[in-house]
Structure 1
Amino acid sequence: MTTGVRRRMGVEERRQQLIGVALELFSRRSPDEVSIDEIASAAGISRPLVYHYFPGKLSLYEAALKRASDDLAARFVEPHEGPLGARLLRVMRRFFDFVDEHGPGFSALMRGGPAVGSSTTNALIDSVRQAAYVQILSHLGVTDPPARLELVVRSWISLAESTALIWLDGRRIPRAELEVQLVHDFAALTAVSAAQDAEMGALMRRIAQEEPADGPFARLAGRLPALAT
């Protein structure tokens, strides 16, 4: 008969384990509601040992946010293949996968939590937004965006955040519909800007030319005339 022996973890391995455990707990409940005792119990270690690796819950929360922010930023990475509308739709599906999996933690980060307002948290949020911004520009094939395009892309990223937060509060609209709506929102923001700026107009025409008849942008364009009748 063999006797089970708990393997001793190295310092970095233990830190990563605690970050993973904390992130899992923060994903199910607001970080304010999760105690160090719960984290220690879920990790199978003592409360003092948690403090050996992290000075307090705030530092552990920030470490968990760093892992989550890296994950969220990666959701915006998409191969440059196929029409833009289909690419953005795949990005929105992965974005909402994250929101769905980490609802309370995502909400706490954006609305209020133990580290909100700290320089670390603000930097993490900004890094995700910047990563999303860079990815969208790369899909548009633009390296030096004009002011109106920067406004459109950054406004759309903020809109995606706000939409996700509202959706989490009751989930009253089917998630799949919101994913498509956000892709349509991007097209609408671009079209409004294109109506006032020749450079944006040229970009809008290029996007439209590459969009297939069954793509999300084309479906939106097909529905708009009916609203005017």
Structure 2
Amino acid sequence: MGTGVRRRMGVEERRQQLIGVALDLFSRRSPDDVSIDEIASAAGISRPLVYHYFPGKLSLYEAALQRASDDLASRFVEPPDGPLGARLLRVMRRYFDFVDEHGPGFAALMRGGPAVGSSATNALIDSVRQAAYVQILSHLGVEKAPARLELVVRSWISLAESTALIWLDGRRIPRAELEVQLVQDFAALAAVSAAQDEEMAALLRGALHQEPAGGPFTDLVTKLLALAT
């Protein structure tokens, strides 16, 4: 039979525990609605002890946000093997896994939570977007993007964010359909740019030539051609 004596945590271990507890609570409800008392209770410690490790909820929120942003950025990492459409679809599935698991926190992050106006918070959000941008370029085999490609990729990342936020508000469209749609949105944005620029056209042709029948890109082309007839 156990003694019920709790093991004393080291400073960094306790900090990481509090970050994990806060992230879990922020993931289920808006950070504005989560109190320090709730975080302390969930961690099994006193309110003053929370303040011993973090000066306030904002600093704890930012620490939780750092962990969440690292996690979200990692969802865009994908081995450079196979058709681009399939790779982007796997990225979108992992991205929506995160959105699904951290819905209120994700919404608060993108729409503004208790850290609104915080330069640290804004920098974290920008770092996720930049990590996603770099990863998408790596999927395309491009190190330095020309202006039109940069516009396509950054616009698509913004579209993924706004789509996820709208989906969270009622989840009226099946998630799997949105994941495919976003991959096809990327192809559509690239196609519009390719119609104006030969460098983009060559990049898109290369991607399409690798696509198998039934892939998300070829499926879009088939459906667009059917609309035109």
TM bracket (short chain): over 0.9
Question: Structure 2 CA distance, aligned partners of 1:47 and 1:147?
Answer: 51
Quote the residue 2:141 is aligned against: 141
* Percent of paired sites with the same residue: 87
Where does residue 67 of structure 1 map in the other structure?
67
**Paired residue for 1:165?**
165
Q: 2:175 aligns to what?
A: 175
Question: Using the alignment, how far apart are the partners of 1:59 and 1:140 within structure 2?
Answer: 37
Alpha-carbon distance between aligned partners in 1 of 2:2 and 2:100, rounded to the nearest angstrom: 42
Aligned residue identity for 1:76: F
Following the alignment from structure 2 to structure 1, what is the Cα–Cα distance between the partners of residues 166 and 13?
Answer: 37
Runs of 4+ in 1 over 4 A off after TM superposition: none
Please report how far the alpha carbon of residue 2 of structure 1 lies from its aligned counterpart in structure 2 after TM superposition. 4.6
**C-alpha deviation, 1:227, in angstroms:** 1.2
Match for residue 98 of structure 2?
A: 98
Q: Return the alpha-carbon distance in structure 2 between the equivalents of residues 182 and 40 of structure 1.
A: 40
Matches within 5 A, 1:182-193: 182-193=182-193
The alignment's TM-score, normalised by the length of structure 2, stands at 0.99
Quick one: distance in 2 between partners of 1:36 and 1:106?
20
Q: Aligned letter for 2:196?
A: Q
Residues 157-179 of structure 1: per-residue CA shift (max 9 Å, x gap): 00000000000000000000000
SS of residue paired to 1:145: coil
Rounded to whole Å, the distance in 2 between the matches of 1:208 and 1:175 is 25
Q: Which residue of 2 aligns with 1:122?
A: 122
Cα distance in 2 between the residues matched to 1:26 and 1:94: 20
Which residue number corresponds to residue 17 of structure 2? 17
- How many aligned positions are there? 229
Superposed CA RMSD: 0.7
Gaps of 5+ in 1: none
Deviations 1:185-214 (A, max 9, x none): 000000000000010010011011111112
Q: Which runs of 5+ in 2 are unaligned?
A: none
Report matched runs for 1:38-77 at 5 Å.
Answer: 38-77=38-77
- 1:33 to 2:36 alignment: no
Deviation at 1:228, TM superposition (A): 1.9
> TM-score normalized by structure 1?
0.99
